Amino acid sequence: MSAESFTITAPDGQQVACFRWRADAPKAAVQIEHGAAEHAARYGRVAERLVGAGYEVFANDHRAHGRTADQFGTFGVARPGGWSAIVDDAHQLTRHIRDELPDAPIVLFGHSMGSFIAQQYVQQWGDGLAGLVLSGTAGGLDLDDATMAIITALGEGDGADEPSEVFAAMFGGFNEPFAGPDATGFEWLSRDADEVAAYVADPWCGFPLSNGYVADMLAGTAATWTPEAEANIPRDLPVYVMGGAQDPVGGENVQSVKDLVARYEAAGIGPITLKLYDGGRHEMLNETNRDEVETDLVAWLDATV
């Protein structure tokens, strides 16, 4: 099944590449927000599974990613205010979905950086959603004040469009527990060597993010993780948090994921379901047990919408 391609125009004039996988008489729509240094077409397999279960699927390539970046040659580079614009792009896609499927409930699915987008999204427009899925997520990043100061300074200086060495080092640290003699640097994504090889071979994956992009993203996520911001999430929003028990993005023992769930529960948000897969790494949709992961996701969707 191939996706239909279309574009939406953001308020600032940016053309955002989008995709649609159609279902017959869909019972709901699932909107996917992909992670950093990847693109929406990588979700084609899970989209087909969801379509088969009666869900229409939409996704977009973020600014500085995929076809959106390919139009302008701006891979990994975002302008000041880019993070807020990326979050708003997600809302623009939701508005498009509502125009196309006015009676369909919408579930927002965010993976990794896309889950951070989704967390901020529900603080502003969560009332319009039937559910939230956070994949490969975190409720904070383990960065000290000195590192953040360096990232901020680099993001605001003349080298804002240069590749972020700090972020590259962070990704490198993610891989240390999983690296073998023939390591690619991306073993932390999945136990499936073929999936890792496909990521490495994909020219739209694994590219560096600029200093400005990283600084803007980290400032945006830090603001998202405050009690004041999380208080804006609708209390009756169903949330499904899924991830690998060995996902380094979630921190040691994925404690950051558990902390996020605990904060949401303490705030009365939910119902919340947490599903951690033993041995799983960052991309559970590309893991060795991905069929199980997809089945669990569909089961949650069926029970929720």
Per residue of the chain (305 residues), what is the pLDDT tens digit?
Answer: 789 999 999 999 999 999 999 999 999 999 999 999 999 999 999 999 999 999 999 999 999 999 999 876 678 887 767 899 999 999 999 999 999 999 999 999 999 999 999 999 999 999 999 999 999 999 998 776 776 777 777 777 777 888 888 888 887 899 999 998 889 999 999 999 999 999 999 999 999 999 888 888 988 999 999 999 999 999 999 999 999 999 999 999 999 999 999 999 999 999 999 999 999 999 999 999 999 999 999 999 999 99
What pairing do the DSSP bridges indicate for beta strands 239-244 and 131-135? parallel
And the tokens for 278?
């033993």
Distance CA 30, CA 107 (A): 5
What pLDDT score was predicted for residue 144?
67
Distance CA 229, CA 70 (A): 33
How many C-beta atoms surround the C-beta of residue 117 within 10 A? 27
Which residue segments constitute the domains of the chain, with CATH numbers given? 4-141+227-304 (3.40.50.1820)
Residue 239 neighbours by CB under 8 Å, 6+ apart = 131, 132, 133, 134, 264, 269, 270, 271, 272, 273
What pLDDT score was predicted for residue 166?
82
